[in-house]
């Protein structure tokens, strides 16, 4: 099995706590220096350097030199999707020991996921635009309606025009913390950009968490009609969404 060994090689790179922490941090979507990554991984600079070299060589990371710093970022969207799939499986793994600190709750509330948003905020936004008939999410896949196209255009998003005679499609991504679908693909990325540009959300340095500004709270409520209690964590057993959690 030719691919078996290559698969194992790549996977074993993800299978080390230090490297996994680096990659998780880079899922935030911003490039980081070797030193910063050493810190998030909790190892010395020289150890981190070795890890980073391996990941670059295997095509997981891209390196960019800038002065005496080296910036690292995920090499491609495919790597980001791999990490996403991995986090989803990991999050659903048998409970074991879950520290689940306050830091973790911030991540569950709103975080960046490579080029789009994830967490309760992202799920609430997806629900809201679905409820208003702007978007249909189904089977990990989204379809923008005609009204939805107008709505997002009015919001300032520019989307690549779809194949003639159809509505634009977008990817939907199963949120590992919420087990619910949220917007991804080009629509998700454009939405994230616009929210950043408006100052509704901001990246928190050295973290994947997002801070939601006062303007953001108002804006999400006014423009998207987010319910008052969108930020309340779902109670166990409560079913706020429409999609089943998982395909067969």
Partner DNA sequence: GCGATGCTTCGGCCGAGGCCGAAATGTCGA
Partner DNA sequence: TCGACATTTCGGCCTCGGCCGAAGCATCGC
Q: Which of residues 65-84 bind DNA (CB under 7 A)?
A: 65, 67-70
Q: Answer with the entry of DNA, a copy of itself, none that 52 interacts with (C-beta below 5 to 8 A by kind).
A: DNA
x-marked contacts with a copy of itself along 186-205 as a string, rule CB under 8 A: x--x----------------
**Residue of 16, 115, 193, 231 interacting with DNA (CB under 7 A):** 16
Q: Answer with the entry of a copy of itself, DNA, none that 161 interacts with (C-beta below 5 to 8 A by kind).
A: none
**Whole-number Cα distances in Å, 20 to 2, 62, 136, 143, 217:** 25, 16, 34, 33, 32
The residue behind tokens 């913390």 is 177
Cα(196)–Cα(188) distance, integer angstroms: 12
Site for a copy of itself in 32-61 (CB under 8 A): 40, 57-60
Q: Is the Cβ–Cβ distance between 181 and 174 less than 8 Å?
A: yes
Residue placing its CB nearer to DNA in the complex, 67 or 102: 67
Residue placing its CB nearer to a copy of itself in the complex, 236 or 247: 247
Cα(179)–Cα(239) distance, integer angstroms: 11
Which among 103-111, 118-126, 194-202, 219-227 is the span making contact with a copy of itself, rule CB under 8 A? 103-111
Largest Cα–Cα distance in the chain? 56
Residues 6+ away with beta carbon under 8 Å from 60:
10, 13, 23, 74, 75, 79
x-marked contacts with a copy of itself along 152-171 as a string, rule CB under 8 A: ----------xx--x-xxxx
Cα(36)–Cα(45) distance, integer angstroms: 9
Point out which residues pair with 212 in neighbouring strands: 201
**Residue of 76, 157, 194, 217 interacting with a copy of itself (CB under 8 A):** 76
Kindly list the residues in this chain that would bind DNA in the complex (CB under 7 A). Answer: 12, 16-18, 33-35, 38, 43-54, 63, 65, 67-70
């Amino acid at each position: 099995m030719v691919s078996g060994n290559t698969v194992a090689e790549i996977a074993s790179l993800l299978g080390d706590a230090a490297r996994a922490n680096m990659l998780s941090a880079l899922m935030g979507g911003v490039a980081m220096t070797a030193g910063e990554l050493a810190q998030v991984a909790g190892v010395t600079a020289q150890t981190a350097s070795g890890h980073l070299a391996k990941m670059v060589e295997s095509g997981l990371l891209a390196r960019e030199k800038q002065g005496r710093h080296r910036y690292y970022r995920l090499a491609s969207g495919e790597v980001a999707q791999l990490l996403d799939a991995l986090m989803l499986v990991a999050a659903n793994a048998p409970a074991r020991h879950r520290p689940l600190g306050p830091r973790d709750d911030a991540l569950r509330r709103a975080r960046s996921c490579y080029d789009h948003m994830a967490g309760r905020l992202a799920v609430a936004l997806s629900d809201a635009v679905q409820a208003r008939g702007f978007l249909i999410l189904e089977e990990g896949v989204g379809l923008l309606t005609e009204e939805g196209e107008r709505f997002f255009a009015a919001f300032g998003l520019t989307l690549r025009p779809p194949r003639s005679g159809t509505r634009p499609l977008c990817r939907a991504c199963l949120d590992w913390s919420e087990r619910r679908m949220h917007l991804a693909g080009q629509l998700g990325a454009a939405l994230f950009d616009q929210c950043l540009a408006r100052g509704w959300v901001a990246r928190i340095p050295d973290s994947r968490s997002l801070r939601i500004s006062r303007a953001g709270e108002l804006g999400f409520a006014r423009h998207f009609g987010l319910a008052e209690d969108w930020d309340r964590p779902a109670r166990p057993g409560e079913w706020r969404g429409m999609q089943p959690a998982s395909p067969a």
